Chain A
Amino acid sequence: DQQVKQNSPSLSVQEGRISILNCDYTNSMFDYFLWYKKYPAEGPTFLISISSIKDKNEDGRFTVFLNKSAKHLSLHIVPSQPGDSAVYFCAASASGGTSYGKLTFGQGTILTVHP
């Protein structure tokens, strides 16, 4: 039962254009969502997060949008740079004791930004 899904295994974008990565979730108890970037042979690097009380959060070139009714979130990267090429993971967590430290991850999307 995959509670967090990233349906696009890969995405290819031209440098300077917008990258949009998508993520869907099924568990209505999730109330905190995060995006991570991962390079080979390194651990995931935290990018940006959003609480369910918001529908948008921005940090520099990164913006995360949350649509609770559709159980969908997206990460926008503008403008995209070649250094953004990596695997991007969407993750979610729920409040409460049974969720301490537990993130549920999607399977990842490989982003390639071409110069």
Chain B
Amino acid sequence: KAGVTQTPRYLIKTRGQQVTLSCSPISGHRSVSWYQQTPGQGLQFLFEYFSETQRNKGNFPGRFSGRQFSNSRSEMNVSTLELGDSALYLCASSLEPPNSPLHFGNGTRLTVT
């Protein structure tokens, strides 16, 4: 069974630009979550989607948004990039939470210059 796939693996953007990251969950998983990992803050929850609906959201500004498609694939968008948005962005999928482990992809490394 294929794991969670994230594209692209690496991305370099300039401050003020916007970026879209893509995630394909494990087949059969309908819940997709996004996380940001930075050296200072660790792993921080961004949001969760299930059946194309955002069910939960972390404490990030509105510049961070996402969506989920009918095939459970998800995208995350960050607008008006700031230097502090440089991070590893991780997508995870699971069967119906809670009490179902999240399975993570290898992430997209975003660098904002």
Contacts and interface: CB of A to CB of B under 8 A. Distances in A.
B71 interface: no
Contacts of B107: 42-43
A44 B56 contact: no
A102 B99 contact: no
Contacts of A10: none
B31 interface: yes
Given A51-B99, A101-B32, 5 more contacts: A32-B98, A41-B106, A46-B101, A97-B55, A101-B55
A105 B43 contact: yes
Contact of A94 (B43, B58, B94, B98): B98
B48 A45 contact: no
Interface in A84-112: 89, 91, 93-108
Interface of B: 4, 6, 31-33, 42-43, 45, 47-50, 55-56, 58, 90, 92, 94, 97-99, 101-107
B106 A42 contact: yes
A22 interface: no
A26 B20 CA distance: 35
Given A32-B99, A108-B42, A101 B104 contact: no
A93 B98 contact: yes
Contact of A45 (B55, B56, B104): B104
A46 B48 contact: no
Contacts of A34: 101-102
A74 interface: no
B45 A101 contact: yes
Given A100-B31, A101-B102, A103-B102, A43 B48 contact: no
